[in-house]
Structure 1
């Protein structure tokens, strides 16, 4: 194996110290200890293990007593469950060998050690995932869908029966005349098997969703400037079912956005570029449909500044989805119940065309649009 990382790059990496993406390991590390590092990185955002570097940053190198690349690969396959693919690169520093082990953000989360420990990376250390964190790991892998969970204290009485009747009428079902309405709602994932409204059912058909899901809402703020500490012109919290949230937030954005125009003959002509409504609508729908509702302490936020709009949604992208893939139309279904109903209500399609449309519209107008993950949030920044 030929070295592909330069000595200078290695020194730069070591100079950063151990952090949320870099870990130093001595040549004396045992397989279980190394497996813990691989598991923690794979369950979080990926990272790099430098094998042959002490905690102090001193490079002590690796002995010639084994094929270290093969040894690392075996640990990744046999001491990590499920098996993990890592990339190993050899670097020579002053006649000392260091292995750079690149651990990707795992595709098959959650990973665990042979001792059944689910670990995550926090800063420069690893710790056992809490129950809530473990649940989100399962959700990211597609094994578990949070919007299918029943909401405590709810029942069919928590749902808007008129809205349900209108919805089912589109499919030639006279819901009000059905003998076993509860079974219909269970079969369509609006209720769970115990008769509680599911999170998805509550957010689409609930009478007052925020009574049980207080942060399943949109917070809108308009600032007179470019920063969060500039004068706050308006602030609103938008509740209700997701379709109402989208429609209300869209109306608020249109009411606040600058629309300078002039009169030419009998026509009113915009003096600056105006995004079509479908752009704002898509960003609102995307945030509502794909946010991580398992994160209880945060709302969707829409921030309006003089030069941009920011749409901030709780939750990182699922395992196999990246920011670049989203631009090309790769879609994902963190909340399949919500996706199903919002699609049937004509708020979305499942072809992944929404965010690429936003990207093309902005680029064609000479405007910047940025998709990014920041902490446990997904953010879209749209230049005005």
Structure 2
């Protein structure tokens, strides 16, 4: 009798997270599958299953578990840990190889190929995709990169002066302002403004980063095809974006109330301002700025508010870990400045606070990865 869990896996067919492999597969071919899955979102390889889904099995006269483990450690760079489970179909053995979403991205083969999984096939990562893999591993931070065709003239020096004044530094009187800006990651070594510096202190950040802004939309219903009541694109530095969208949200979310004893009392639960502020800051600080063709989006519907940010969760952070306060600094420069401006702390308390506030009020709250985006959905009152 066939193992039920094996039957269910095979019934899915090969897809972005499932690969069938014959027991006769060459070690280098298996290594390519391991690399592609680990560099993407992880997945499963069924060894002993043909491309057609037919079960051919794995011979028992060889220790295939050790063979697979050695390939994962010796043919994949850096070494990869996999979990192997045995399944049986009558007298045929199938090995289920669970490949994790790698914590040490990017992985490569011994032939120096950086592969990713696209649908049910593998391909060599593009330069932009490879950059994101390095970014996810923490080996490379995009917000530290200099923005082409920018100089110190693109910075709001009055705003920078206010920032340093909080640390008893009179920036206007400093003789070597460039050195200070370089040491604080606002400029790079070549004199260009870093992406983080431009988004925090730029005169007009969207001149060079047109999609580093927030799109807001309010729909008269519960679907995207409902009547559009309002639509705005909010630019400027990140702190201005957060403050502006927060004010817009307060004006657009219904707040039924009544008068009691001369006081205005809410008739239904209202989220405290800190919830919306946290989600806006989180989207700005943790979005993947290497994805150029997408913006942060905030959508208001009759029954919910959606916050959508370009980029999946980095490194080994998962949805469950987010609820427990586990975080990862994809953009450490932006995080540093937003923290110093009192928009955020690094203790990981923000999203757990959002989750706790919503659930205690009996409101819907969802964290989800959809494609190359991260979405938070907050349910509104009836």
Aligned: 1:77 with 2:73: yes
What residue number does 2:213 align with? 217
Aligned: 1:45 with 2:35: no
Pick from 105, 110, 114 the counterpart of residue 114 of structure 1: 110
Q: Structure 1: how far apart are the matches of 2:234 and 2:328?
A: 25
Pick from 302, 324, 331 the counterpart of residue 327 of structure 2: 331
Secondary structure of residue in 2 paired with 1:229: coil
Q: TM-score, normalised by structure 1?
A: 0.98
Pick from 349, 360, 378 the counterpart of residue 374 of structure 2: 378
Give the drift of 1:12.
1.7
Q: Structure 2: how far apart are the matches of 1:324 and 1:62?
A: 35
Pick from 292, 297, 304 the counterpart of residue 301 of structure 1: 297
Q: Structure 1: how far apart are the matches of 2:2 and 2:142?
A: 45
Q: Structure 2: how far apart are the matches of 1:278 and 1:62?
A: 56
Secondary structure of residue in 2 paired with 1:77: helix
> Deviation string for 1:255-304 (max 9, x for gaps)?
00001111112101111111110000000000000000000000000011
Aligned: 1:176 with 2:156: no
Q: Structure 2: how far apart are the matches of 1:169 and 1:275?
A: 34
What residue number does 1:142 align with? 138
Secondary structure of residue in 2 paired with 1:36: helix
Q: Structure 2: how far apart are the matches of 1:267 and 1:16?
A: 59
Answer whether contact 2:2 2:90 (CA < 8 A) is retained.
no
Secondary structure of residue in 2 paired with 1:99: strand
The 5 A counterparts of 1:216-255 are: 216-255=212-251
> Deviation string for 1:302-358 (max 9, x for gaps)?
011000000000001111211111111112100000000000000000001111111
What residue number does 2:125 align with? 129
Q: Structure 2: how far apart are the matches of 1:220 and 1:166?
A: 29
What residue number does 2:317 align with? 321
Q: Structure 2: how far apart are the matches of 1:63 and 1:355?
A: 49
Q: Structure 2: how far apart are the matches of 1:352 and 1:15?
A: 40
Pick from 272, 281, 288 the counterpart of residue 285 of structure 1: 281
What residue number does 2:253 align with? 257
What residue number does 2:268 align with? 272
Q: Structure 1: how far apart are the matches of 2:76 and 2:142?
A: 26
RMSD: 0.9
Runs of 4+ in 1 over 2 A off after TM superposition: none
Q: Structure 2: how far apart are the matches of 1:364 and 1:7?
A: 41
Count of paired positions: 380
Q: TM-score, normalised by structure 2?
A: 0.98
Secondary structure of residue in 2 paired with 1:216: coil
